[in-house]
Amino acid sequence: MIVRGHRRLPFAVEETVNLLDHIAAAAALTDRPVHDPRALADEHRRFAWYRAATPADERAFLAAILRDPDEAMAGAAAIARIDDRAATARGFRAWADRMSPAVDHVPAVRARLAEWRLVHDALAGREVAVNAVLAASDWAQRRLAAEVDGELLALLAVHGRTRRVRALTRIPRPVRPRPRDED
């Protein structure tokens, strides 16, 4: 598009400067502050960079991710970091408590953190609120239906939100002792 004899750029120069400043600030929180800010202008590369980073202060880094100008990518990157951390299981509950202040202002990220707490508590044999299980997302209910047993499994068999959740409760599973989280 031509505007008054000038080619219009696909992005505002001011947005680029703010993005580059943002990338530099986020990079300062990681173990690799040397980076190519122009390459990280691409949201796909930035997402991968956010996910692979090893910051000294995870809460500050999550807060920095969520300040990224691309809100959708920022939320997805924060959720990916939470999912990655939750998969390691050890000490997740304490980690999640420390991360809450950094993510509480973004509803989707706050909800994912809360659902991972619910899943970890259920798998560790802690008591979980029936209302929390029934209000959980399809993702969380599927995760629970595939891994829990006992009363929680019976609850999901009858009241699971989707047919898929209810069907997962009918898959035979061996009786096994529940690992206890050390939190």
Residues 66 and 142 grouped into a single domain: no
* 114 inside domain: no
Predicted confidence at residue 20, as pLDDT, reads: 67
Residues 141 and 57 grouped into a single domain: no
Dist CA 142 CA 149 (whole Å): 13
Q: Per-residue pLDDT tens for 69-89?
A: 889 999 999 999 999 999 886
Percent of the chain with pLDDT over 70: 78
Which three-class secondary structure state does DSSP give residue 3? strand
Q: Are 29 and 55 in contact (CB under 8 A)?
A: yes
Domain count, the chain: 2
Residues 61 and 8 grouped into a single domain: yes
Dist CA 143 CA 52 (whole Å): 24
Residues 77 and 135 grouped into a single domain: no
Q: How confident is the model at residue 13 (pLDDT cuts 50, 70, 90)?
A: very low
Q: Per-residue pLDDT tens for 118-128?
A: 999 999 889 99
Percent of the chain with pLDDT over 90: 51
Residues 95 and 13 grouped into a single domain: yes
* 15-19, 49-53, 89-93, range with the lowest pLDDT: 15-19
Residues 12 and 94 grouped into a single domain: yes
* 75 inside domain: yes
62-99 CB burial, b ≥16 within 10 A, e <16: bbbbbebeeeebbbbbbbbbbeebbeebeebbebbeeb
Domain span including residue 130: 124-183
In the predicted model, is pLDDT for residue 18 greater than 50? yes
Residues 145 and 67 grouped into a single domain: no
Residues 139 and 63 grouped into a single domain: no
Residues 99 and 157 grouped into a single domain: no
Q: Look over the chain and give the mean of its residue pLDDT values, rounded to a whole number.
A: 82
pTM of the model: 0.77
